[in-house]
Structure 1
């Protein structure tokens, strides 16, 4: 891919694995400098050695209020601006609601919803002052369809869809594009909570996809002219049936 992001600076949350890592590599290939944000310091250190040039690391625990609040200022201590923020970090709860716990619900909703709001709140003034920027949020097909085996997860992603689309309208007049990518099931650690039978069946049916399929969609969104905003891209495995 042509290096159409040459000179731009991106920050990616949940960058140490899955969609975040695939997107980080795609952004680097497109010429961007990328700040990898994750709570896993060991993984970040390994990736720093592997990716080297134009890959900077930022250890942030988004579930820690002070660490989350410090994320954008600490990033801007490493680079002089942020062109792209990819809010990708998230977690998953599946199964019947009665089988989960209040603590697990709090953790997932905090990570999937509250930290996205906080990260956008933190970066918006910076982008408004510069008059440009891209904010992309990793949502889910569960943010568009009430997945009956994922009541908590689906609720969190519906909230994300509402937030992204309202912020798109708030920030569009400042030269800032806001959109989301909504993938179906991706082969990643996020599916470790799936029922083994369901996971095995979907693997056999070809109803799962690789993280790179999602990062390709994100790069497509970012490659459009500034006069165009891709507000949402739904990416599904061809054999996935909801």
Structure 2
């Protein structure tokens, strides 16, 4: 059964080549939306766009590079005339005790998780004005509310996302643009660049971790609400994940 009001909506999803981004793209396409898939891995998003059919298109871009963000949203304007949903999903995390972390890792996380998100959001706002139900949604983390040992700088980036969204909501509400933040706990995705695969698998199995589709459902639920309704925040975690 299709949700009301999503047919022919236009969505941009960053980090769309796998995980939550890919799962959200699949759900939105099934609901009749047009989806722009954005990621650094050209082959992955082009293959996904071909699989999803004519309502999907692939744009290779690295959102941490501001020079690539402008052309992306210019393409959206030219192709669709406007934008209904931006899902800031691209993210990067390095695990380390803070004392052992490196400035290079800090910069890479902030460049993607914060600066890239800001660049995409600023470019998207003019395309959303006058479009009922337009929404900016971003994937944060339970770590952006409670902090997690070994992920101090990553959590700092996610705290920044939460704080930014709380303020942006107040700035854009009068224009009818909704601002929502999704905060997942443990999820079966490719996330965790420098964590041994076996350690990630064991933790996720122990927690009966969420699937990417579970988080995607939360995004689409928020987007599918009537334009007057803002689902401001969704914190979704595995039942067994008692600690952050």
Give CA deviations for 1:43-80 in whole Å, capped at 9, x if unaligned: 12211221112011111111222112322112222222
CA gap of 1:192–1:106, structure 2 versus 1, over 3 A, is closer
1:2 alignment counterpart: 2
How much does 1:91 deviate?
0.6
What CA deviation, in whole Å up to 9, does each residue of 1:70-125 have, x standing for no partner? 22112222222111111110111112123322111101111001111111111112
* Counterpart position of 2:170: 169
Partner of 1:42: 43
1:190 aligns to what SS in structure 2?
Answer: coil
Counterpart-to-counterpart distance in 1, 2:62 and 2:193: 21
Q: 8 Å contact 1:140–1:184 — kept in the other structure?
A: yes
SS of the residue 1:122 aligns to: helix
Q: Would the aligned equivalents of 1:207 and 1:239 in 2 still touch at CA under 8 Å?
A: yes
Instruction: Please state if 1:137 is matched with 2:132.
Output: no
| Equivalent residue, structure 1, for 2:124 | 123
Residue in structure 1 matched with residue 85 of structure 2 by the alignment: 84
* 8 Å contact from structure 1 (residues 143, 182) kept in 2: yes
Q: Secondary structure at the match of 1:193?
A: coil
Q: Deviations over 1:118-169 (max 9, x none)?
A: 1111111222254651111111111100212210111000000000111011
Contact kept, 8 Å, 2:189 with 2:212, in 1: the verdict is: yes
CA drift of 1:190 comes to: 0.7
Name the structure 2 match of 1:102: 103
Q: The residue matched to 1:53 in structure 2 has which SS?
A: coil
After the TM superposition, which residues 1-242 of structure 1 pair with which residues of structure 2 at under 5 Å, given as runs? Answer: 1-4=1-4, 5-130=6-131, 133-195=134-196, 198-242=199-243
Bigger CA drift: 97-106 or 114-123?
97-106
> Structure 2 length normalisation: TM-score?
0.93
The secondary structure found in structure 2 opposite 1:135 is strand
**SS of residue matched to 2:228:** coil
- After superposition, the Cα gap between the structure-2 partners of 1:217 and 1:96, relative to the gap in structure 1 and judged at 3 Å, is same
Q: CA RMSD in A?
A: 1.6
How many residues are aligned here? 242
Say whether the 8 Å CA contact 2:49–2:58 is kept in structure 1. Answer: yes
1:201, distance to aligned residue in structure 2 (A): 3.4
Unaligned runs of 5+ in 2: none
1-structure distance, mates of 2:79, 2:194: 36
Distance 1:118 1:22, change over 3 A: same
Superposition deviation, residue 219 in structure 1: 1.1
Q: 1:241 to 1:95 in 2, by over 3 A?
A: farther
Give the structure-1-normalised TM-score: 0.94
Contact 1:3/1:29 (<8 A) preserved: no
Please state whether the residue corresponding to 1:31 is helix, strand or coil. coil
